[in-house]
Each structure stands twice: as C-alpha cells, then as structure tokens.
Amino acid sequence: MASTQILRHVRNYSSAGTLSAAAGVVTFPILTRNLTVDEYGILGLMMGTLTLFVAIGKLGLQHAVIRFYAQITHNEQGDFSTRQMNSTVLVVFALMAAITTTIWLLAGSLVLPGTLQNDSLPSLFWIASGTVFLRLFGSAFLNFLRASERSGKVATLQITSRYLYIGFVLAVLLLSDLSPFTVLACTLVAEIITFCVSLYFYRDKITFSFGEFRSRLASAMFIYGAPLMVLETLGVFLRLSDRYLIQGMLGEADLGMYSASYNLTSYLEVIVLATVAQALRPIYMKLWERDGTEPTRDFLSNSFRVYLALGIPAVAIFSATAPHLLNFLASPKFAAGTVIIPFITISFFMDGAVQWLGAGLYIKRNTRTLMFWSMIAAALNLLLNFLVIPHYGILGASVVTVLSFAVFLVGVSTSAAKYLRLNIDWVTPTFIAIMSFAVYQLLMQLDFGFELTNLFVKGFLGCAFCLLGLMVIDVKTSVQISDLVRSRLRGAT
C-alpha cells in the first residue's frame, strides 16, 4: 500500500515537473525573441531575486508545516490541535509575507537602483511585490496540501500557474509589446488566480481563529525550519550571485546571454532533480525506519549507479545539442552565451548526486552540516566570481559554478559517509565519463547545416554511441535498465 502511494506521488510530481518544463520551453522563445538581450537579462535577474526573497521569507516554515502536520494529526504531539496549527501557520505566513514584501519594496526603491544603475528597477519591483506576497502567503495552503498528501492538487496548482502565465503572455503579445514590466504583470495575474484556486482546494480544512494562535508552536516551527531556510537560501544564492556580478562588471548584454543559456539548462532541474528530490528521499527514509542500514545502503548504492550510468552520458549529449536548441528557440543573438552550457549542466548533475551522497545527513537530520557546506560553497562562489569575471567573463562564471558545487558535493558526501557510506565502484563511472567525453568531442566536430538538423542528428548519434558504450562498459546496469523498460512496456500493455 505504501509503495503504491509513493508511486502515485512520484507520478503526480514528475508530471507537474514535465509539464512545467514544457511550458518553459514554450515561453522561452517568446521572451527571447520579443525582448532585447538587455531586457531578458534584467527580467532573469528580477525573477531570480524574487525567488531569493521568497526563499528567505518562508524561513523554512514550509518544511515545518509538513513535519508538524504529520505529528499533530496523528496525535504524536498532544500539546496542539489541528485548528491551532492552522491558525498559527496562517498568522505566521501572513506576517512574514507582509514583512518580506515591505523589505522587497525598500530594496527595489532605495538600494538596488543605485547599485545596478537601471532606471526601470523601481517600477519592476513594485509590480512584482504582489507576486512576492502571494507566493509567501500562498505557500501556507500549498504546503498544507502537500502535508495532507494531496499531491494531485499540488501538481494541478503548479501546472495551472505555469499555463495561465503562458496565456497572459500570449495575450499581451497579441495586443501590445512585451517588456519586463508586462511579463511581471502577467506573472502577478497568474499568481492571483492560482492563489484563489489553492484556497478553494483547501477550503474544507481551513479553520482559523486569532484566539487559537500558539506562540509556542510558532517558535518550535521556526527552530525546525531555520536551518533548512538557510540551506535553501544559499542554494538560490549559488545560482544567482554570479548574475549580479555579471550585470555590474560586464553589463546587461552579457547578463542576457548568460541568463538565456542558464535558463535553458535549468529545465533539467525542473524535470529531473525536482522529481528525484521529492521521490527519492521518502523511499530511503522509509527503508531506514523499516528495514535498517543495509537495505537502505543497497537501495541507494544501486540507484546511484543507475544515476551515474544514465546521467554522465546525458550531460555529454545535452551539452552538445543544447546550443542548437537555444539558437533555434531564442535566435542567434544569444549564441555567444552557449559556451557556458556544458559547465552549468555539470553543476546540475552534481546537485542531483547530492540526493544520494548526502543521504546520511538527511537520515540523521544533520541540517547544520548541510548548512555549513552551503555557506562554504556560497562564499567561495562569491569570492572566485569577483576575481574571475572581470578577466574571463561569463565562461569564467560558469567554471566557478562547477567548482562551487564540487566543493559542496565533496564536503556533504564526506560528512554523510560517517553515517551511511554507499558501496560505489568508481572505476566503471570513470570509464563511462571517458566514453561520454569522447562522444561529446565527436559530436562537436559535426555540422549538418541547420540548427534543427544538428539537434536531432547529433542527439540520435549521441544516444546511439553512448548506449553502445554503456553496454560494453557497464553490462550490469544495462541489463537492469533493459529489464526495467521491458517491465514498464508489459505493464503498459
């Protein structure tokens, strides 16, 4: 029964991730072809800054909602009732939304305009302030739905938000011209509707009274969520700090080219990493509690071997084909930025590996160590970018991103191994990496004239060569993947 529930949640979240990424692929050419390179860079900077503010403003309470909801609804913590939790969470999230939105407006009106030298920033921050408030306050209802295992409704909200945004952007494009301001206005309208839908989905569970607010419960949730907030914020900072430095040191044109290639690569995170993070952790947590160390170690070791066997060739193939996809979708005016794609792709691959190699820290709830290595990686990222960007431009920034995530990965995996060391044979992945690099170099020498032709032919050849190489280098994983595919096909029929 539990495994069936996990598969259902995986299906819902992965479907939402795939459809959201598809929406991103649709909007990507619309924005890149109708905004100037400078405008696209500023829009990307605004959206990244908005994500950072929302991550800080939540204070990790979204994680606390899921944890405390399970305890209170199952009477594992008898001091508080569900009604008291609902009232406390709504008050806290409303308060944090108001405070964060106020700081957002002050930053956009007084601080950042003088730093970034862009006259349009105040108006952009004002139109985006509503989105900041709604994403923070709406997070309360969204995470109540997650906590009550309504993954179907959560997925519906995520998909609704993305496709409403597409619809409004297309409407503006038909009636007027796109600009960063109008795109942010479309985001706001989509957020308003999505917020109303989330209220409707949770309407049967909403119980609120100021008299039911419990400061002791709020304090306990803050204590639990604060380290996770720092971890999430530093993760966003790792992906955002270079953009501020690029804008300040190189200008908006370089920022636009960097953002376009970065955003295209980030769809890997939406489809793959989000699903891995939401699906993998509950499985190994359950194995640990139910079966103990060895079954958990075996599951993580075997699944990580598959991740390496498929992920390393995927990095090579994506790095060789994504520039053609970007040139086709966004036009050649962003072509100079494609030089960063292989490095950013590798950074996302390493970010995914943390889900396995850092499992021991999550199992032991050692969030302080995760936070420590995030701080080290973020500080290193900021320092190296400050030194490298003036001399090596956006390529240097992408290399720094890889180095920062490598430090984070090594630090986390070394610390986590003290609690749970995976059984990993690094010889086979090394040969797979050598084979994948050779395929990448071969594909980069080929040119079939048209961007779409290059995309599909190189993609096909890359998959064929890597599959043949994998069958020779890692027979065990090849058989395992083949058996899995056959079982899925039999289940489909």
The 10s digit of each residue's pLDDT in 80-123 is 777 777 888 888 888 999 999 999 888 887 766 656 566 777 88
Chain-centroid distance, C-alpha 136: 17
**For range 202-229, the mean pLDDT:** 76
The position carrying tokens 């396995």 is: 356
DSSP 255-301: HHHHHHHHHHHHHHIIIIIHHHHHHHHHHHHHHHHHH-HHHHHHHHH
- 449 φ/ψ sector (left φ>0, alpha ψ -120 to 50, else beta): left
* pLDDT at residue 408 tops 70: yes
**For range 434-444, the mean pLDDT:** 94
**For range 175-201, the mean pLDDT:** 88
**For range 420-439, the mean pLDDT:** 91
The 10s digit of each residue's pLDDT in 447-466 is 888 888 999 999 999 999 99
pLDDT score of 133: 93
Q: How far apart are the first and last CA of the chain?
A: 23
3-state secondary structure of 60: coil
Residue 202: both structure tokens together: 């949770």
Calpha distance 340→355 (Å, rounded): 24
Chain-centroid distance, C-alpha 418: 27
3-state secondary structure of 36: coil
3-state secondary structure of 251: coil
Categorize the per-residue pLDDT at 4 as very low, low, confident or very high, splitting at 50, 70 and 90: very low
Higher-pLDDT residue of 121 and 277 is: 121
* pLDDT at residue 379 tops 80: yes
Calpha distance 66→143 (Å, rounded): 7
Higher-pLDDT residue of 39 and 484 is: 39
* pLDDT at residue 413 tops 90: yes
pLDDT score of 414: 93
The Cβ of residue 220 has, within 10 Å, a number of other Cβ atoms equal to: 18
Q: Which of 138-147, 180-189, 341-350 has the lowest mean pLDDT?
A: 138-147
Higher-pLDDT residue of 414 and 37 is: 414
* pLDDT at residue 171 tops 80: yes
CB-based contact 357:311 (threshold 8 Å): no
**For range 317-328, the mean pLDDT:** 91
* pLDDT at residue 404 tops 90: yes
* pLDDT at residue 477 tops 80: no
Count of H helices and E strands in the chain? Answer: 18, 0
pLDDT score of 115: 61
The closest alpha carbon to 183, from 42, 56, 49, 52, belongs to 42
CB-based contact 320:440 (threshold 8 Å): yes
* Torsion (CA) 45, 51, 53, 57 in degrees, nearest 10: 180
Q: Is the dihedral of CA 258, 261, 262, 263 positive or negative?
A: positive
Calpha distance 470→427 (Å, rounded): 13
Categorize the per-residue pLDDT at 155 as very low, low, confident or very high, splitting at 50, 70 and 90: confident
